[in-house]
A and B are shown apart, each in its own frame.
Chain A
Amino acid sequence: MSELRGNLREEFSDKQYRHAYADESLNTYIATQIKVLREQQELTQKQLADLTGMAQPRIAVLEDINYSSWSINTLRRLAEAFDLRLSVRFETFSSLIPEIETFSREALKRDKFENDGWFHKKDVQPAESAIWRAACLDVGQELAHQHKNSRIVEMPRRTGAAALAAGGR
């Protein structure tokens, strides 16, 4: 286990601590990703401001990790300007650990729709297969999770000899 992983495992046992650390991680992630995506698409802050209908100083504020008053509406406007989808979801604290460990410029880059290979290749079979496999895996994991947490005890179906022994019921 890495030193950071060990520290966080211990520190996250405190609720106040883990929420503050995760909030800070979220602010850092979003602000840094806006800057990385803007640079990936070779846009100046002024050009991104024009695309989003904001002022350039506003973009500078959003790219600063000390900013914390995010609105989904603002993030949607940025997503549209970058031609990317916005994803907002609730996650476990453990899922934060690999995100922290892999945090880097490369990990924050995303291809906008026109460079999103899956939509523009003629032969999409391999990608489709990969997506299908991933979807099946997700469904499988979800079913396993539901089964594990289910309070409904499934009775084994009585068939054959067992059904006869029970009087054919």
Chain B
Amino acid sequence: MAWKLYDYRDHRGENPVKQWCESLQKPDLARMNKRIDLLETNGKDLCPGLAGPLSKSPHLHKIKINGSVAARLLLCKGPIQMETEYTLLLGAFERDDELPEGTLETAESYRQNILRDPKKWRSPHERAKR
């Protein structure tokens, strides 16, 4: 079953997820796009470790890339149609297995924005290219 993917849009209407993905080095971008393709075609449950849940934030999941940097993409199921959608919220780099302070709170606030007004705060996923 194919899933519908969305990207978070900031208050200027820009796509920070796409911009962050495009900042990755080419091999890391390829790995990230592969993970996003898998999410879109099979959801997160077929492939173990694709988008694990975060213990500190039950609504958030994390795609991790172990390339030249520890790139992490935070996302959530839904949050409007829980059985058919994922929304990519925020990209970040881990150091010593830790996300920068405030990352989870920011991602959760993005999710809340989308719940309040999905048309304003998200748009269909755009593939990052270099």
A125 to B31 CA separation, bound complex (whole angstroms): 45
Question: What residues of B have a CB within 8 angstroms of the CB of A31 in the complex?
Answer: 47-49
Proximity string of chain A (14-47) to chain B, C-beta cutoff 8 Å, 1 when within and 0 when not: 1011111101110010011001000000000000
Residue B84 at the chain A interface, CB threshold 8 Å: no
Question: What residues of A have a CB within 8 angstroms of the CB of B37 in the complex?
Answer: 4, 100
Q: Dominant SS at the B interface? A: helix
Residue ID in chain A nearest B29 by CB atoms: A17
Q: Dominant SS at the A interface? A: helix
Which size bracket describes the interface of A in this complex?
Answer: 20 to 34
Interface size on B, residues (CB 8 A): 23
Assess whether A17 is in contact with B30, with CB atoms less than 8 Å apart: yes
Question: What residues of B have a CB within 8 angstroms of the CB of A105 in the complex?
Answer: 46
Assess whether B48 is in contact with A35, with CB atoms less than 8 Å apart: yes
| B-to-A contact residues, CB < 8 Å | 26-31, 33-35, 37-38, 41-42, 46-50, 64, 66-67, 127, 129
In the A-B complex, the 4 residue pairs with the smallest Cβ-Cβ separation, listed nearest first, are A20-B27, A20-B30, A64-B49, A24-B34
| A-to-B contact residues, CB < 8 Å | 4, 7, 10-11, 14, 16-21, 23-25, 28, 31-32, 35, 63-68, 100, 103-105
Given contacts A23-B31, A65-B49, 12 further A-B contacts (CB under 8 A): A4-B41, A16-B26, A16-B27, A20-B28, A25-B34, A28-B47, A31-B47, A31-B49, A65-B48, A66-B66, A67-B49, A103-B41
